[in-house]
Amino acid sequence: MPATEPPNPAPDQRDLSWRAAQDRYDAMSYRRCGTSGLKLPAISLGLWQNFGGDRPLDNARAILRRAFDLGVTHIDLANNYGPPYGAAESTFGQVLASDLGRHRDELIVSTKAGYDMWPGPYGDGGSRKYLLASLDQSLTRMGLNYVDIFYSHRYDPDTPLEETLGALDTAVRSGKALYAGVSNYPAEVLDRAAGILADLGTPLLIDQPVHSLFDRHIEPDIIETAARRGVGLIVFSPLAQGRLTDRYLDGVPAGSRATHSRFLSADQATADDVLRRSRALNEVARAGDRTLAQLALAWVLRRPEITSALIGASSVAQLEANVAALRQPPLSQAELDAVDEFAAPAGQRL
């Protein structure tokens, strides 16, 4: 099905009472993505969770509006974000139609394909068939005729890398994406991918790996590879699925992510070693007049190679508290030394 982008949503879809904040660019910092001309906000908003069909549209709209008012111009999605699959893109499309669409040229919208999306052999992996069909579906759900960044969501060892990256090149040359990205690629494959795309004439803009105080597997190989290739890094799960917040310091609250997510169990959130480290890091944060989440974000963003930290948000208050990390002073050497005692060792995951 061809995708369409109504640049001016129908009048009955718009909320004419909302106006974006005039000072939306005053406080946010923007970082150049690798050696490209594109800048991303230091904190980006991901719709991995909390924007599916099981959440109220009004809550999603409030978070997205407030994010834009705070200068968070980058919204990150994937084809199977939900639940159900595709729901986050549909939700975002509704908010574009009613509110944010009038600011499309101020937004960076990204999506991905690579994990399971629909039944059968063509709804998963890294084939050209899957990636380009998925991109068309994503554009339709969002009501767009292009995304700013289209990612291969994972390395598929069963598909030639040249085929996967050739599909990204086609997406860019067709005008359905402005830039190409990869996510969850090992360092050696990231290096090869950057070379293949360079030869095709579509530079690799960005890599999206997981990175946090509790997951430092990208140090040093992926960070060094990205820097050498001129590729930006946007890291996801910088708060370790909520374990680097105060949410689980005293147990698992009812309704929290650890009670229902397949990506985080209650046992993972409250494991003895995790709790010991989280509570110690929380004391370091409090001593510096920060929250634990703000400490974790400041730690990730301390490195110049990191273009942006990708956060989720279940409420406007949570979003505001995390973005406030950017208004705090950089971590001191004493804080960094204290943090290092309780973080995962470089190159390792907890």
Q: For residue 45, what pLDDT band results from cuts at 50, 70 and 90?
A: very high
**Which one has a higher pLDDT value, 252 or 8?**
252
Closest CA to 90 of 53, 128, 120: 53
- What was the pLDDT predicted at 304? 97
Q: For residue 271, what pLDDT band results from cuts at 50, 70 and 90?
A: confident
Percent of the chain with pLDDT over 90: 85
- In one letter, which amino acid is 151? Y
- What was the pLDDT predicted at 253? 54
Integer CA distances (angstroms), 305 to 212, 228, 233, in order: 14, 10, 7
| CATH class held by domain 28-342 | alpha beta
Q: For residue 116, what pLDDT band results from cuts at 50, 70 and 90?
A: very high
- What was the pLDDT predicted at 256? 53
**Which one has a higher pLDDT value, 194 or 15?**
194
- Asked whether 299 and 223 are in contact (CB, 8 A), the reply is no
pLDDT digits (tens, 9 = 90+) for 144-188: 999 999 999 999 999 999 999 999 999 999 999 999 999 999 999
- What was the pLDDT predicted at 15? 64
Q: Is the pLDDT of residue 136 over 70?
A: yes
- In one letter, which amino acid is 77? L
What are the φ/ψ torsions at residue 116 (nearest 5 degrees)? -60, 135
Cis peptide before 56 (omega within 30 of 0): no
Question: What's the length of the chain?
Answer: 350
Compute the mean pLDDT over every residue in the chain, rounded to the nearest whole number: 92
Closest CA to 111 of 43, 177, 35, 200: 177
Q: Which residue has the tokens 């879809």?
A: 13
How far apart (Å, rounded) are the C-alpha atoms in residues 90 and 96? 10
**Which one has a higher pLDDT value, 9 or 222?**
222
- What was the pLDDT predicted at 259? 45
- What was the pLDDT predicted at 142? 98
Mean per-residue pLDDT for 245-263? 62
**What's the half-sphere exposure (Cβ side, CA atoms, 13 Å) at 218?**
28
Closest CA to 94 of 67, 124, 134, 65: 65
Q: For residue 7, what pLDDT band results from cuts at 50, 70 and 90?
A: very low
Q: Is the pLDDT of residue 6 over 70?
A: no
In the chain, where the domains are located: 28-342
Q: For residue 252, what pLDDT band results from cuts at 50, 70 and 90?
A: low
Mean per-residue pLDDT for 326-345? 97
Q: Is the pLDDT of residue 16 over 80?
A: no
Residue 265 burial (C-beta neighbours within 10 Å; 0-12, 13-18, 19+): middle
Q: Is the pLDDT of residue 258 over 80?
A: no
How far apart (Å, rounded) are the C-alpha atoms in residues 223 and 239? 19
What's the predicted TM-score (pTM) here?
A: 0.92
pLDDT digits (tens, 9 = 90+) for 47-84: 999 999 999 999 999 999 999 999 999 999 999 999 99
> Which tokens go with 340?
């290092």
- What was the pLDDT predicted at 2? 34
Mean per-residue pLDDT for 181-207? 98
Q: Is the pLDDT of residue 31 over 90?
A: yes
